[in-house]
Amino acid sequence: MNTLVITIISLCAIGIVSAIILYVVAQKFKVEEDPRIDIVEGLLPGANCGGCGYPGCRGLAEAAVKSDTMDGIMCPVGGSVTMQKVAAALGREVAEQTPKIAVVRCNGSCENRPRTSQYDGARSCAIEHNLYVGDTACSFGCLGCGDCVSACPFDAIHMNEKTGLPEVDDAKCVACGACVKACPRNIIELRNKGPKDRRVFVSCVNKDKGGVARKACQVACIGCMKCAKECPFEAITVENNLAYIDYSKCRLCRKCVSVCPTGAIHEVNFPARKITTDTPKTEVKSNVVNVPQTEATRTTAEVKPEKAVPAAEETAKPVERQEIKTTETVKPVETAKPVEEATEKMPEKTQEEKTATQQEIDFKI
């Protein structure tokens, strides 16, 4: 019995001494944490997606508290509204940032890219990219295994069964960048949403020459530079046989879309274009001859017309009869004579006159 009591007492003593030692060590080596970190973390959405570039929402909160400014600190899930709350809690000002969205820069669907081989193995873009070029002749396009779909924590990307390409849901995408990191061929990029979610982008990443790229895909960028020449804002450049759009200069005029011969430049969320029928202009020629004006015509043209007399006054005036007096005597009209009497009184032609008239007739003939 005494042995059991001694054992219990010794164990309690050891526990108490260990607790005291741990407490002293913790107080001596403790790291004081800013209480604002917990406040900022509570304002964040808690998705822990890593789209901000920090290891979770806790890492973003620590960076925001330790930093003197809010430049470069952005939560893509919460957006500008959340960052304004964080800035207000820290007593700082945050610049309004343009919302972004994920864009798939590949339009090589099953119809546009003919299949040259068949892959039989693990369905992973990373594995397939490391093993070989792919099941098409394009070594830059989407592999279609869906690594981006699996990486998205917000269910904002889905594979289209008809085209074999991933499609982004604008309503769900928060631009966390998880799909960008998961794509081994870097065809997914974060781009500005633009006003009214309208955007123009080059849906191709093929850097081969125009002929090679066109054989691999019907809608590939061939580097013809028509878009760069047509752009009035100099927002498009062509490097390595591929067109790039500078979104700081782009004004969404869509002239590049209309001149692209392969349809590699896409427009999203724009209203339908109005179909205008160009009617040929016909020139109407007048048959009026320009007559030179004489002095008489000029004077008549310059004469001002008199004031019109009302119709009631014209009808009221009686018409006066005027007698025309003539001084010449009027001869009585002779009655018509028959043709026979007229011909009898006509003098007959002499023989010389008849021969002269006959010679004139013969001469004319």
Tell me the domain boundaries of the chain. Answer: 33-97, 100-268
CATH no. for 100-268: 3.30.70.20
Q: Phi and psi of 138, rounded to 5°?
A: -85, 120
Report phi then psi at 140, rounded to 5.
Answer: -115, -20
Q: Integer distance in angstroms from the first to the last C-alpha of the chain?
A: 175
Contact between 52 and 97 under an 8 Å Cβ cutoff? The reply is no
pLDDT, tens digit, 9 for 90 and up, residues 47-60:
888 888 888 899 99
State pLDDT tens for residues 207-245: 999 999 999 999 999 999 999 999 999 999 999 999 999
CATH number of this structure's domain 33-97? 1.10.15
Supply the pLDDT for residue 227: 95
Predicted confidence at residue 152, as pLDDT, reads 92
In terms of phi and psi (left: phi > 0; alpha: psi -120 to 50; beta: otherwise), the region of 53 is left
Across the chain, which has 365 residues, the per-10-residue mean pLDDT values are 84 94 89 86 88 87 88 84 89 81 92 86 89 87 93 92 92 90 93 87 93 92 94 94 92 93 92 62 43 43 44 45 48 49 51 59 52
Q: Is the pTM of this model over 0.85?
A: no
pLDDT one-digit tens code per residue, 156-209: 999 999 999 999 998 899 888 899 999 999 999 998 888 888 899 999 999 999
- Res 97: pLDDT: 77
Judged by phi (left if over 0) then psi (alpha if -120 to 50, else beta), residue 119 lies in: beta
Q: Where are the beta strands (DSSP E) in 233-282?
A: 236-239, 242-245, 265-268
